[in-house]
Amino acid sequence: MTANLTLLILAGLLFATGIYLLLERSLTRVLLGLMLLTNGANVLLLASGGSAGLAPFFSKGTDPAEYNDPLPQALILTSIVISFAVTAFMLALIYRTWQLGRLDVVPDDIEDRRVAAQSSWDAEDDADVPEDLSEFVSPEEAAAADQAALATPDPRRHGDDTEPAQVHSAMRKEGERE
């Protein structure tokens, strides 16, 4: 399977011209760019199909290498249908824009200009990252925090200095008396 160099160059030119027209602010040029882009894709699919061969019907005694591949043809047909739908949608957008504003060019609005004038520095993304990202404390700090917690009185005792085991046994004895 060999690709035709002329078709490949034509596909490249259609892609380049289509992308150039897509970057314009005129909606008509955007539509033309989309059409050239889809035609470039169709030519590229045609070039990928290889040279022309026999119809893809099976006949006895024909070498399978002589048959034509039907897949690129099916993909081109699908691409034509999709490009027709996108073209119709863009034509409707262009017509509606022309009806409302009598303009074919998409103008800059104030919000676009404000966003373009902003600095590209973002505090969340561009801030300096500290070396240690761990939320855990070092073992020395953990031991000191444990010692401090053991040194403070238990707030459940209400000023009583008795041990919890003694309080529990005293409560059990009171329950047995009743």
pTM score, whole prediction: 0.58
Separation between Cα atoms, residue 56 and residue 45, nearest integer Å: 17
Give DSSP secondary structure letters for 41-64: HHHHHHHHT-S--B-S---TT--G
Separation between Cα atoms, residue 174 and residue 178, nearest integer Å: 7
Contact 104, 91 (CB under 8 A): no
Higher pLDDT, 145 or 44: 44
Which residue is associated with the tokens 């009598």?
102
* Domains of the chain in sequence order: 5-56+68-107 (1.10.287.3510), 149-177 (no CATH)
Separation between Cα atoms, residue 114 and residue 102, nearest integer Å: 25
Structure confidence at residue 14 as a pLDDT band (50, 70, 90):
very high
Contact 15, 34 (CB under 8 A): no
Q: pLDDT, tens digit, for every residue of 70-110? A: 788 899 999 999 999 999 999 999 999 999 988 888 887 88
Assess whether pLDDT exceeds 70 at residue 36: yes
Give DSSP secondary structure letters for 106-133: ----HHHHHHHHS-S--HHHHSPPPS--
pLDDT score of 56: 62
Assess whether pLDDT exceeds 70 at residue 133: no
Separation between Cα atoms, residue 15 and residue 9, nearest integer Å: 10
